Amino acid sequence: MHIISPYSSGLKLAVAAPSSAASGVIMSQGIHVKVEPWQLLAPSQMTDVGTELSTKTWLRGAMFPIRWWDHEPSQGVFDKTKLETYYDMCASRNKMCTFLIGSRDFQVEVFNPTESPILPADLLTTNGTYSNGQAKYLNMWAYEGKDADQGGIWAVKGYNLNLYDVVIRDRFLAVMQYIADNFDGRPYFAGSMFVESSIGQPFEGFVGGNSSALHYAGMLDIFIRAKAMFKKSQFIPDINATTSFINDFFAVPAGHALTHRLPWSTSNMFTIATGNVALVQSKIPSLTGKIWIMSQIQAHDMNSVDGSYPGTPPTKEYLYLRARNTHLATHLYVQRNTPSVAPFNWDGFVSYMDSSPYASDPYGGLSQTLPDIII
């Protein structure tokens, strides 16, 4: 285990775009904006994202949401129209493109004005209702939460794909393979992030002998098999779940693709109270391959600067400097929130970066990793 900090030595390493590691895997270190589905609904919104990519020199690229419904209109027939649009938006501006492939729906309404379903039409089959009248689905299971629309009582808060079902996994992986076949190795394709490992508690329990453990086992199966598909780009697992899942994830036996994984990511990187960050970092020395640390800044994942709640909310400056100086992150994905969720908003982060001396560093000062450095 060899850790090199450029911050104690004053070392700055310039990286040209796009860059590649010795293994031929395209690297994309720097700050990326995570674009939400509801920020891509109108042509004017697409223009705004493109303007940010063009004018923010410290911005390395963008991550776009991928909803299964949009890309497999009928079984085995795929459509990459949106994927090409997102890729071209980045490539034409010399920026990197990442796809965020979701297996969890944070909406109670599977059909809603802002996000397409996480299942294609032929798999989106209802299967009765729960005791409170909310919908059940054959190929998704509901997780619970206190829902204001349900009078503040425990109710269905959203849905997960049935990843314990090998049929669903195989179909989901066919989409992954299609993306890899069409984008892996393109000069401005950074890779794909598979989200998310936090799944919630089932509403009214699992059926048919299924469980959270079996769902996590299915997720690990996807990680292992999909990682092998993306040979020139990054396939990024989003680790922000339970202690047992993290332990299982790092226990993947030698010989599988994950043993030489590239980055891991956690959207709880800054939530001190969880302890998951320390657990993940304690596992890193056991890896036999090289990894590049990635962080996400997501407003709803954060507590205060000391882990208490509500406490004092962390500022964007605090979060960025912690990612850069403490975690030595090589990649940072920042949620493109609106001003209505201040202080965790994209506008505030942009203002900070525009006025920060780090903005003059390559890709916001997050370009410290060379192919022969293990972090």
Answer whether residue 116 is part of any domain: no
Residue 233 has pLDDT above 80, yes or no: yes
> Measuring CA to CA, which residue among 285, 282, 351 is closest to residue 320?
351
Phi-psi region of 263 (alpha: psi -120 to 50; beta: other; left: phi over 0): beta
Q: CB under 8 Å to 270, separation ≥6 — which residues?
A: 295, 297, 301, 302, 314, 319, 322, 323
| Host domain of residue 50 | 6-101+165-365
Answer whether residue 76 is part of any domain: yes
Backbone φ and ψ for 178, nearest 5 degrees, come out as: -60, -45
Min mean pLDDT across 48-57, 237-246, 269-278, 326-335 is at 269-278
Give the mean pLDDT of 226-253: 78
Burial class (CB in 10 A: 0-12, 13-18, 19+), 288: exposed
Sheet containing strand 189-195, edge to edge, reads: 234-237, 189-195, 96-102, 59-66, 30-34, 331-335, 293-297, 264-266
Answer whether residue 372 is part of any domain: no
Dist CA 278 CA 276 (whole Å) = 5
SS3 81: helix
Answer whether residue 117 is part of any domain: no
Answer whether residue 109 is part of any domain: no
CB 304 within 8 Å of CB 312: yes
> Measuring CA to CA, which residue among 220, 230, 227, 282 is closest to residue 252?
220
pLDDT in tens, 60-73: 999 999 999 999 99
* Tokens representing residue 347 in the block: 């506008």
Terminal CA-to-CA distance of the chain, rounded, Å? 7
Dist CA 64 CA 81 (whole Å) = 13
User: Cα dihedral sign for 72, 73, 78, 81?
Assistant: negative
Pairing mode, strands 96-102 and 19-20: unpaired
Dist CA 97 CA 95 (whole Å) = 7
Answer whether residue 136 is part of any domain: no
What type of residue is 299?
A
How many domains does one find in the chain?
1
> Measuring CA to CA, which residue among 170, 161, 76 is closest to residue 125?
161
Please give the C-alpha separations between residue 202 and each of 144, 162, 212, in angstroms, as whole numbers. Answer: 6, 12, 8
pLDDT in tens, 106-161: 888 887 778 899 999 999 999 999 999 999 999 999 999 876 666 667 899 999 99
Min mean pLDDT across 45-49, 69-73, 242-246, 263-267 is at 263-267
Percent of the residues in the chain that have a pLDDT greater than 90, as a whole number: 37
CATH number for position 220: 3.20.20.70
Answer whether residue 49 is part of any domain: yes
> Measuring CA to CA, which residue among 180, 95, 131 is closest to residue 364?
95
Answer whether residue 211 is part of any domain: yes
